[in-house]
Structure 1
Amino acid sequence: MSLDSPRTASRPERLTVHEARLRLEHERAARLTQLRALDEAGPDAEEQVMSAQKDTIGRVLKEIDAAFDRVTDGSYGVCRGCERPIPVERLEILPYTRFCVPCQRHA
């Protein structure tokens, strides 16, 4: 949605495959950059903090890869809990999510 769009313009209910792939690629690149930065921090960085951060980033990368699989099989953007469409606004913020907000709270 461009900044020039009128505020009354309705948002699409789902991201296109192209939009989903772009958002997921951006997320993957950001996490890989974080991993490289942690690797470059060297032995002076606190080992426990770095290990926890690497584990978290690795987990997110797996979620991103799983989201790419959902794009491929056509189930991207469908909540794994209630099977309804995940709102576009949520997918814009967290493009690899598997759940809508209410189902995420219960997951």
Structure 2
Amino acid sequence: MTTVARSPNMTVHEARQRLQQERNSRLTQLSAIEAGAAPADGDLATARTAAIRRVLTEITAAEHRLTGDTYGTCQGCKTRIPVERLEILPYVRCCVRCQQLAA
């Protein structure tokens, strides 16, 4: 089995599966929002839709990193992102420390 770059406890296959699960979940959320948005909820629905679309963009970027063999490497400090973090947020770009510095 091939492992994700610098993340020896997660295979490429597992990473792809997690990313696909995230994509499917977000697409389901997006469909529900678009189908059920009442006119009074317009601003809230727009904000939720925008947030989901941002996550979908992050998922696509993570798939590119997986193909480019940089998945699992922090884009800030270039260290390995802990597998536990990737399991929770499979599309994450940075380690916790760099994420906090960026915020």
TM-score (norm 1): 0.85
CA distance in 2 between counterparts of 1:22 and 1:45 reads: 37
Give the equivalent residue in structure 1 for 2:10: 15
Scaled by the length of structure 2, the TM-score of the pair is 0.88
2:38 counterpart SS class: coil
Question: Cα 1:103–1:28, aligned 2, differ >3 Å: closer, same or farther?
Answer: same
**1:19-58 matched pairs, under 5 angstroms:** 19-44=14-39, 46-58=41-53
Per-residue deviation, 1:45: 5.3
Structure 2, unmatched stretches of 5+, are 1-6
2: CA distance, partners of 1:32 / 1:76? 22
Q: Write the distance in 2 (CA, Å) between the matches of 1:33 and 1:43.
A: 18
What RMSD over aligned residues (CA atoms) do the two structures have, in Å? Answer: 1.3
Letter in 2 for 1:63: E
Specify the alignment match of 1:60 in structure 2. Answer: 55
Deviation at 1:14, TM superposition (A): 4.4
Q: Which has the higher strand share?
A: 2
Structure 1 CA distance for aligned equivalents of residues 69 and 86 of structure 2: 15
Instruction: Provide runs of 4+ in structure 1 moved above 2 Å.
Output: 42-45
Who wins on radius of gyration, i.e. which is larger?
Answer: 1
Code of the residue aligned with 1:47 in structure 2: it is G
Identity %: 52
